[in-house]
Structure 1
Amino acid sequence: MQPQRRSYSKSFKAQVVQECAQPGASIASVAQHHSLNANLVHKWIRVQTNKAMALQPAFIPLSLQLAGRHSQAPSSSICVEIQHPRGTVKVNWPTESAAACATFLRDLLR
């Protein structure tokens, strides 16, 4: 017969993660204090971080760089360059499909 896995409440997990976030705190020492495996605490921190990232607002501030400020003709395409943790994303999209571009970028950056 295998021993049953222990389960922990959300409030307990949040408390342990909060203790790890304190200045000078070590994840290993916090885990040991609560008789937990440090890998489990690392997992709780990752899960909480991922949830926090998923709850961030969808608005992403962008800096605009206007090429050819003195040109008279309006641009016929949307050009966006986004720095992302997984790499730089460059998008060139026709201006007549601006709504589709917005949908694409929103889905890409989720």
Structure 2
Amino acid sequence: MEKFSIAARPGRREYSQEFKAQMRAKCQEPGASIGGVAIAHGLHPNMLHRWIREARQARALSGHADAEPPAAFVPIPLTGVIPAGGSEPPVSEAVQLRLQRGELVVSLQCPLSQCGALLREILR
């Protein structure tokens, strides 16, 4: 009877802090994407996202000057009041319709008050 040996799966790879810092720096370069950098170096993009997030959290906890401030609501002061109704365009009393089907073109102009009835008749 033959004996088969099953090779143990390799454990998780461990990356040095220097390597992680290099990968984070490459992500900051103009035109670089986290996914592109990760795939180019044989990493999963989620792992690189985690390294970036962990470094950001470590900077925030240490009170480092480069730490990003937390997102917050920023009020925007209004410099002037916009008058109500002053900037509306004048309302036209007539409606112009242009209907085209193939080479046939029909142009109509009708009063605004009769436009609904005219459209019902046309679309019937």
Structure 1-normalised TM-score? 0.50
Instruction: Compare the two structures and name the one with the higher helix fraction.
Output: 1
RCO comparison, higher one (Cα < 8 Å, 6+): 1
Larger Rg: 2
